[in-house]
Amino acid sequence: MSKITIEDKIFNLKDVKNLYPAVLIKTGYEDETTEMSLAWIDIESKGRVEVMGYGIFVVISDTEKHSFIYNDRAELNDAIAKLAFQLK
């Protein structure tokens, strides 16, 4: 059974429905945030949004989602590199 580890959390790959990186931005409504694709933030945002962090998101089911949030893009890239090494 294949497994991956993100930070200190272990996941069975067979249980993972979706795994993706994204940027967290403020929606403009109180302290609410939403996820946007990294491509969107690089190409379309043009500084019009406030970035709150970067993350790797693991969806297990409709009610179970794990979020691993990083302060900046460099930390996210390091985490993605570690994840990619496990998936080889």
Q: What is the pLDDT of residue 1?
A: 59
49-82: pLDDT as tens digits: 999 999 999 999 999 999 999 999 999 999 999 9
Residue 41: both structure tokens together: 């933030």
Each residue of 20-41: pLDDT tens digit? 999 999 998 999 999 999 999 9
Confidence of residue 48 (pLDDT cuts 50, 70, 90): confident
Question: Would you call 83 helix, strand, or coil by DSSP?
Answer: helix
Long-range contacts of residues 43-49, Cβ cutoff 8 Å, at least 24 apart: 49/25
